[in-house]
């Protein structure tokens, strides 16, 4: 039956009902286990990471063409590969094929970045420097491990902070879809900004928060925001959940702590501590309550200066016995457990890039989960797709289930993020920069090329518009991400002459007002719209 036949032969429903997001439940995890598919968890992580890299390459390639590059980076074949192999029931890939695809995506970003760097207009004397690029439509605070420059610039815009040592590290605020040039001669140099080491004892701290680690478990014991100094925002541990029987023969209740293992630390030590970044590494065991070692873990927690996001990397090794996670994946799994204080806090999650209330127990959220109480605490899931809410103030993010072969995971914890979707996208895209021997950019050494006035609006796609062999504008897709109305002004590095709103099939909806070279348009909550912009 076709869709047209369905509407012709059925009556109008007597009741109109609005279905919230929790009414739609994804079957993919259980079905993957039933089909004995490999990597039901990490397949989603790889997909999210690859799509983020693809969008970054598209943005850099489009911008370079708009600035005059003649040759575009070929991304069509990479896009088709991603959508083919990373579907829930897509074709399985060998490890070599998977590595080759990831390498091709990294090369595509590097190629597009080099093309863009050569299109930036230059003026002045040639010098050693690095051009830091931003493929995202929001200002990005970027940590550069080693610039390779002999001198370190002063901490003034766009440089947020700098340190001088064996490696010249920088934290730079790069404008939306733009660049920042750091040169040895053109940038004011001097004694870099100094500050106390960020890691000390069992603590990590920066301007916004302090993290305390547990000597017993090796997990995060507390995260204290300086705005709410007496409130523990979140705690985190690793655990294995297996359904157990009580002494009377009955199964333990679903939320009973008896179902969970014990996390025991062998060592908790500071592995990096400078004025710009701190890192604490925990190593230990995940044990049954009878003392059997089920797995061993290494957890690295990193915090940088000026950041509201804690980066966590987890590696799982085999224990003394087989981990043997079998059966229902929602009952038997290894997870990262999160706990918070406020039982009345509301939980939100992203579905297809937009924010929805999360009132269910089994949740799908490959981008982020937001705990909204007196303050906002965000779990940046890093592509981890499935999560289980335990009671009113605990959450399990599933890392390993039956069939999962990946043992390395990465996620983030954000404190008071106003727009978490931006940090969720930022988690997958590594810093993009090109070391050059060239003149500084003409005009400002730090500049945006595209700018959206509403921060709750994200750009999901970029493509140039070609007419008669010339690039005359660009086509972009924008999405409202926070569930509220948005009036947006779009500015570009050239004055816009016309802007058209289109459906996703490119059919025209209407024209956007253009004033002083800026195009304005409105988005309703969660609306996804295509814009054709010409100059």
Assigned CATH for 449-534: 2.60.40
Q: Give the predicted TM-score (pTM) of the model.
A: 0.91
E strand or H helix that includes residue 22: none
Look at the block and give the residue holding tokens 């109480």.
Answer: 373
Cβ(210)–Cβ(234) below 8 Å = no
Look at the block and give the residue holding tokens 């873990």.
Answer: 297
Helices (H) and strands (E) in the chain, counts: 6, 34
Per-residue model confidence (pLDDT) at position 325: 87
For CA atoms 225, 349, 46, 173, give the dihedral sign: negative
Residue spans of the domains in the chain: they are 22-119, 127-194+430-438, 228-269+285-424, 449-534
Cβ(190)–Cβ(200) below 8 Å = no
Q: Write 45-49 long-range contacts (CB < 8 A, 24+).
A: 45/366, 45/382, 45/383, 45/384, 45/385, 45/406, 45/409, 46/86, 46/98, 46/102, 46/383, 47/82, 47/86, 47/383, 48/366, 48/367, 48/382, 48/383, 48/428, 49/383, 49/428
List, run by run, the mean pLDDT of 10-residue segments along the chain (535 residues): 80 71 84 88 91 93 90 82 68 72 93 94 89 94 81 73 71 94 70 74 93 97 90 96 73 71 96 92 94 95 96 92 82 95 94 92 95 94 94 95 94 96 90 91 91 94 90 94 94 95 88 95 94 94
Cβ(263)–Cβ(286) below 8 Å = yes
Per-residue model confidence (pLDDT) at position 385: 94
Give the separation between CA 69 and CA 14, rounded to whole angstroms: 58
Per-residue model confidence (pLDDT) at position 528: 93
Give the separation between CA 350 and CA 357, rounded to whole angstroms: 9
Pairing type for strands 394-400 and 470-480 reads unpaired
Give the separation between CA 205 and CA 499, rounded to whole angstroms: 46
Q: What is the 3-state secondary structure (H, E, C) of 354-369?
A: EEEECCCCEEECCCEE
Give the separation between CA 202 and CA 215, rounded to whole angstroms: 8
Q: How far is CA 143 from CA 190, 274, 426, in A?
A: 20, 13, 12
- Residue 189 DSSP code: B
Non-local (6+) Cβ contacts of 301 within 8 A are 204, 211, 213, 220, 279, 280, 281, 282, 310, 311, 312
Give the separation between CA 387 and CA 84, rounded to whole angstroms: 25
Supply the DSSP string of 207-265, one letter for each residue: SSEEEEE-TTT-SEEEEEEGGGTT-B--EEEEEEE---B-TTSPBPPTT-GGGB-EEEE
Helix axes 76-85, 95-119, angle to 10 degrees: 150
Per-residue model confidence (pLDDT) at position 87: 62
Per-residue model confidence (pLDDT) at position 429: 87
pLDDT in tens, 441-472: 998 889 999 999 999 999 999 999 998 888 99
Which SS3 state, helix, strand or coil, does residue 431 take?
coil
């Amino acid at each position: 039956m076709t869709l047209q036949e369905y509407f012709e032969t059925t009556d109008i429903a007597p009741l109109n009902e609005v279905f919230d997001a929790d009414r739609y439940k994804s079957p993919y995890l259980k079905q993957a286990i039933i089909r004995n598919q490999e990597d039901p968890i990490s397949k989603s992580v790889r997909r999210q990471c690859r799509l983020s890299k693809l969008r970054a390459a598209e943005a850099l390639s489009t911008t370079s063409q708009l600035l005059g590059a003649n040759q575009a980076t070929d991304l069509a074949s990479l896009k088709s590969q991603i959508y083919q192999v990373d579907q829930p029931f897509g074709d399985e890939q060998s490890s070599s094929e998977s590595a080759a695809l990831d390498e091709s995506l990294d090369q595509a970003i590097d190629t597009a970045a080099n093309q863009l760097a050569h299109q930036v207009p230059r003026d002045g004397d040639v010098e050693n420097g690095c051009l830091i690029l931003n493929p995202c439509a929001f200002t990005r605070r970027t940590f550069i491990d080693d610039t390779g420059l002999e001198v370190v610039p002063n901490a003034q815009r766009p440089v947020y902070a700098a340190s001088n040592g064996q490696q010249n590290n920088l934290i730079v605020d790069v404008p939306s879809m733009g660049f920042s040039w750091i040169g040895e001669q053109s940038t004011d140099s001097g004694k870099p900004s100094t500050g106390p080491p960020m890691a000390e004892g069992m603590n990590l701290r920066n301007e916004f928060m302090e993290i305390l680690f547990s000597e017993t478990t090796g997990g995060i014991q507390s995260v204290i925001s300086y705005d709410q100094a007496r409130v523990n925002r979140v705690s985190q541990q690793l655990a294995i959940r297996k359904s157990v029987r009580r002494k009377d023969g009955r199964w333990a209740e679903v939320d009973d702590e008896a179902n969970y293992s014990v996390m025991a630390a062998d060592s908790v030590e500071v592995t990096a501590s400078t004025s710009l970044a701190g890192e604490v590494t925990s190593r230990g065991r995940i044990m049954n309550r009878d003392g059997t070692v089920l797995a061993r873990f290494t957890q690295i927690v990193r915090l940088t200066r000026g950041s509201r996001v804690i980066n966590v990397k987890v590696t799982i090794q085999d224990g003394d016995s087989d981990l043997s996670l079998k059966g229902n994946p929602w009952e038997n799994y290894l997870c990262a457990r999160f706990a918070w204080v406020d039982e009345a806090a509301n939980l939100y999650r992203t579905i297809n890039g937009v924010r929805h209330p999360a009132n269910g127990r089994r949740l799908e959220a490959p981008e982020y989960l937001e705990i909204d109480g007196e303050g906002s605490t965000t779990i940046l899931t890093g592509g981890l797709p499935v999560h289980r809410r335990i009671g009113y103030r605990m959450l399990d993010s599933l890392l390993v289930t039956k069939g999962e072969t990946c043992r390395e995971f990465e996620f983030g914890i954000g404190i008071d993020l106003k727009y978490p979707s931006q940090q969720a996208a930022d988690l997958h895209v590594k810093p993009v920069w090109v070391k050059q021997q060239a003149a500084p950019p003409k005009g400002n050494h730090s500049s945006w090329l595209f700018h959206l006035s509403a921060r709750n609006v994200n750009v999901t796609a970029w493509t140039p518009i070609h007419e008669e062999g010339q690039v005359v504008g660009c086509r972009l897709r924008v999405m409202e991400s926070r569930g509220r109305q948005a009036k947006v002004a779009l500015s570009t590095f050239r004055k816009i002459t016309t802007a058209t709103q289109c459906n996703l099939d490119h059919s025209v909806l209407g024209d956007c007002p253009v004033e002083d070279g800026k195009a304005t348009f409105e988005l309703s909550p969660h609306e996804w719209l295509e814009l054709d912009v010409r100059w």
